Each structure stands twice: as structure tokens, then as C-alpha cells.
Structure 1
Amino acid sequence: MSRSNKVAVPLSKAALQQMKYEIAEEFGLYSYVSQSSSDDTEFAGELGSVPQTTGSVHWSQLSTRQAGSVGGEMTKRLVAQAESVLNGYI
């Protein structure tokens, strides 16, 4: 059997991408990119006003272990979700 990265259900691609970024954020792999270079963020957290940021994960800068942990956690959660659905039918 050949391995493939094809998505079995194309409509689920957006949900899987969202899950990937949520898990990466939980693992602390989420990096913040400021929208403007003039933002002073040094004391923003202490003052309670954190500037608006856009998050992104720089996948090319992650180690194989870090990227694999995100994929492994995705698989674990998807299996748990499938099991809970199946338990409702059994």
C-alpha cells in the first residue's frame, strides 16, 4: 500500500488546518508577528494593552520532533472524537 498525503474528505481541510494551528499554540510553537513595526510591546502586558497581532507558525523552523508532536496530537484527538461518536452508536 502506498502512502499518500491526500485528504480523504476535501471539505475537512480547513478544519484540519485550524486544529493544527490550535495545537501548535497549545504546545507553545505559536509565534506572534506584529502588524506594525512601531508597536512598543515591552511593557504592554504589564499595562494590560497588548497590541493586535497576527499569529503564524514557521513550520520550516520547527524540529522534526516538534512538528511530529503536532501531527501526533491531531491524530490522537481525531481518534478520540471518532471513538466517542462510535460509542454513541454501539
Structure 2
Amino acid sequence: MSGCIKAVCFYMVFVMNWCKPAVSFSVVDSLPGFTAPLPFKLETGYTEVDDLEFFYYFIESERSPAEDPLLLWLTGGLAALVFLGFSLK
């Protein structure tokens, strides 16, 4: 296992120790300007770490959710265009 993968795994275990379950979430069925049903399952919500709440998007794999890897996408900062960065990747 490479050093980078070990670091990410350690970080995930470290963060998961202090994370609480999502405090609120909702299933998104439609997006503005997109009239067709979404071709994927999309959930949004907040999860709490210490006294901070983090907003998340969760998109389930279209192939095999139980077998496909989980991708964690971290974006943020002042005036960050999170959805734009997410949608362009």
C-alpha cells in the first residue's frame, strides 16, 4: 500500500471517530433547469465534526454500489464554488 493511500486511510479513520451521523439529509429528485429525472441517486445533508457542520453531496454508484469504491471529494475555503468544482470533475 503506498504512503498516500495509507495517509488517506488514517485520515478517514481519524475523522470517522469524531463524526456523528448526518444531522439532516434529503434525497434530491430534480435540479433546476434539468427537466428529466436524475440518472443517479443524489442525497445532500450535513454531518457534524466537533462543533462544525459540513455540507455533503452523496451520489450512489450507478453500477454496483456494494462493490464499487467510495470516493471522498473535499472542497472548501472562502467563496469556494463547491458545486461547480464537483460538476466539472
TM-score after normalising by structure 1: 0.23
Say which structure is richer in strand.
2
TM-score after normalising by structure 2: 0.24
Say which structure is richer in helix.
1
By relative contact order (CA 8 Å, sep 6+), the higher-ranking structure is: 1
